[in-house]
């Protein structure tokens, strides 16, 4: 079996909401996971795990005084029989251990990206989930960005013809360090932009254009005092023949296009980021029956050639679709929206990129797999 799914349909009565324990209430937990869980039909945010008393108060203020809080994961796993799903939104270095503990407690798991530091660790978690018949999914919300959904629809329609080159960027202008584990140079923290925003870039490229056979990367530490990559370029050669060029940077004083897809019939060019993250940060919440993730016409991308170009209405972004699909998979025993095997494939590409940047050469993805199997 190539995906981590429940072995049989859930026995949870459809009338009872699925109870969710959320580990971590920093940026990922408070801005993305908690609001989306709380507004998904069939899910209820039962417990938030954070040792920070201020964040505990914040969680109750935002999600009701009936919300339970726990100071550490031990408290949560002590009453695993009261939960249906654990979401791991804690720092990257904890992902593998917490996901393993949740699975061993017979709980389905969602893990924020990246699932692990290595593809081998991700595969081991996938194997464990399959042996126990449990759902294991990775939160790749950028598959539900408006620009990604729009480009995918154009590809399905054949509007670009044969795609030859795909360019994708997550660029920012942050010349000063913010601090914290994301900028740590300790390999155990799995920091740096390659594994942060690069996880999204690689996942999107693989989802659109399929497997990769070779990778070339340039990864630099630009800002004074920085300890980990903050300006990275990755070139992928897909087995389909498409080439993906991916940039992630904190040092871009002028931002390039978010997407530029070049095909035999036309090109699609899109500037600007999906509006959902900013909306969630500002306290907006998805509401049934109301549009969400709507982008103004002024931000639409364009499709065409130099002699014939037209604006393309952006599809509405749809982060709520991720947890709706998780809830459906838990009820039915079907596939989760993003599988652990998919995450492992993306991690193998990221590992190849890391080797390429360090050694200054193109790396075949299969080399990373061979290195994994050679480890004791």
Q: Two tokens at 279?
A: 């909306």
User: In the chain, which residue ranges form alpha helices assigned H by DSSP?
Assistant: 27, 34-38, 53-63, 73-77, 95-104, 119-132, 146-157, 197-209, 276-281, 320-332, 340-359, 365-374
pLDDT of 374: 38
Q: Are residues 167 and 131 in the same domain?
A: no
pLDDT of 1: 34
Q: Are residues 41 and 116 in the same domain?
A: yes
Query: Does residue 192 form part of some domain?
Result: yes
φ/ψ bin of 161: left (φ > 0), alpha (ψ from -120 to 50), beta (otherwise): left
Q: Which residue has the tokens 């008393």?
A: 53
Q: Are residues 64 and 152 in the same domain?
A: no
pLDDT of 150: 98
- If you write DSSP's letter for every residue of 260-280 in order, what string do you get? EEEESS-EEEE-S--SHHHHH
pLDDT of 12: 55
For the chain, give the longest Cα–Cα distance. 65
Nearest to 163 by CA among 259, 266, 247: 266
The CATH number of residue 209's host domain is 3.30.360.10
Beta bridge partners of 304: 267, 309
Query: Does residue 376 form part of some domain?
Result: no
- Whether 213 contacts 239, CB under 8 Å: yes
Domain boundary among 265, 285, 316: 316
- What are the pLDDT digits (tens) for 56-106? 999 999 999 999 999 999 999 999 999 999 999 999 999 999 999 999 999
Q: Are residues 133 and 278 in the same domain?
A: no
The CATH number of residue 93's host domain is 3.40.50.720
Q: Are residues 61 and 75 in the same domain?
A: yes
Pairwise CA distance, residues 142 & 202, whole Å: 11
pLDDT of 323: 98
Query: Does residue 11 form part of some domain?
Result: no
User: In 241-319, which residue ranges form alpha helices assigned H by DSSP?
Assistant: 276-281
Number of domains in the chain: 2
Cβ within 8 Å of residue 271, ≥6 positions away = 255, 257, 258, 299, 301
Cβ within 8 Å of residue 87, ≥6 positions away = 20, 21, 22, 23, 29, 33, 37, 109, 110, 111, 112, 139
Beta bridge partners of 361: none
Pairwise CA distance, residues 337 & 99, whole Å: 17
Q: Are residues 154 and 135 in the same domain?
A: no
Query: Does residue 119 form part of some domain?
Result: yes
The whole-number mean pLDDT for each consecutive block of 10 residues of the chain, a chain of 376 residues, reads 38 77 97 98 98 97 96 97 98 98 98 97 98 98 98 98 98 94 94 97 98 98 96 98 98 97 98 97 94 97 97 98 98 96 98 97 88 41
Q: Are residues 137 and 152 in the same domain?
A: no
pLDDT of 368: 85
Q: Are residues 180 and 304 in the same domain?
A: yes
Q: Which domain range does residue 101 map to?
A: 18-141+323-337
Q: Are residues 229 and 282 in the same domain?
A: yes
Query: Does residue 209 form part of some domain?
Result: yes
Q: Are residues 125 and 192 in the same domain?
A: no
Pairwise CA distance, residues 115 & 94, whole Å: 10
Query: Does residue 63 form part of some domain?
Result: yes
Q: Reply yes or no: is the peptide bond before residue 247 cis, omega within 30 of 0.
A: no
Q: Are residues 281 and 171 in the same domain?
A: yes
Q: Two tokens at 349?
A: 């590409």
Query: Does residue 371 form part of some domain?
Result: no
Exposure letters 246-264 (e unless 16+ CB within 10 A, then b): bbbbbbbeeeebbbbbbbe
Q: Are residues 63 and 34 in the same domain?
A: yes
pLDDT of 10: 44
Containing H/E element for 231?
strand 231-238
Pairwise CA distance, residues 166 & 260, whole Å: 6
- What are the pLDDT digits (tens) for 259-305? 999 999 999 999 999 999 999 999 999 998 899 999 999 999 999 99
Query: Does residue 350 form part of some domain?
Result: no
């Amino acid at each position: 079996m190539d995906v981590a799914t429940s072995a049989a349909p859930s026995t949870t009565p459809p009338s009872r909401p699925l109870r969710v324990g959320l580990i971590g209430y920093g940026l990922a937990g408070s801005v993305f996971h908690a609001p989306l869980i709380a507004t998904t039909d069939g899910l209820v945010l039962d417990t938030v795990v954070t040792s920070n008393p201020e964040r505990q108060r914040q969680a109750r203020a935002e999600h009701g005084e009936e919300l339970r809080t726990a100071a550490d994961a031990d408290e949560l796993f002590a009453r695993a029989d009261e939960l249906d799903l654990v979401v791991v939104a804690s720092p990257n270095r904890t992902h593998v251990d917490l996901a393993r503990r949740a699975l061993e407690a017979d709980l389905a798991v969602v893990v924020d990206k990246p699932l692990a530091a290595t593809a081998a660790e991700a595969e081991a978690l996938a194997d464990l989930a399959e042996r126990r018949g449990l759902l294991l999914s990775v939160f790749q919300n950028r598959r539900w960005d408006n620009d990604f959904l729009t480009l995918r629809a154009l590809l399905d329609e054949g509007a670009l013809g044969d795609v030859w080159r795909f360019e994708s960027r997550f660029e920012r202008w942050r010349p000063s360090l913010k601090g914290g584990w994301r900028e740590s140079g300790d390999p155990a923290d799995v920091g740096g932009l390659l594994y942060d925003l690069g996880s999204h870039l690689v996942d999107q490229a693989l989802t659109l254009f399929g497997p990769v056979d070779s990778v070339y990367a340039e990864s630099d530490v630009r800002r004074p005092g920085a300890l980990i990559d903050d300006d990275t370029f990755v070139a992928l050669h897909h087995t389909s023949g498409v080439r993906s060029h991916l940039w992630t940077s904190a040092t871009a004083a002028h931002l390039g296009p978010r997407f530029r897809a070049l095909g035999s019939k036309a090109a699609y060019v899109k500037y600007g980021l999906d509006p959902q993250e900013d909306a969630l940060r500002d306290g907006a919440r998805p509401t049934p029956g109301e549009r969400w993730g709507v982008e103004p016409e002024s931000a639409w991308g364009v499709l065409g050639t130099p002699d014939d170009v037209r604006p393309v209405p952006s599809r509405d972004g749809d982060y709520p679709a991720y947890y709706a699909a998780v809830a459906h998979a838990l009820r039915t025993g079907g596939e989760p929206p993003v599988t652990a095997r998919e995450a492992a494939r993306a991690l193998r590409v990221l590992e190849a990129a890391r080797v390429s940047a360090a050694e200054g050469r193109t790396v075949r993805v299969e080399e990373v797999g061979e290195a994994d199997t050679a480890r004791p």
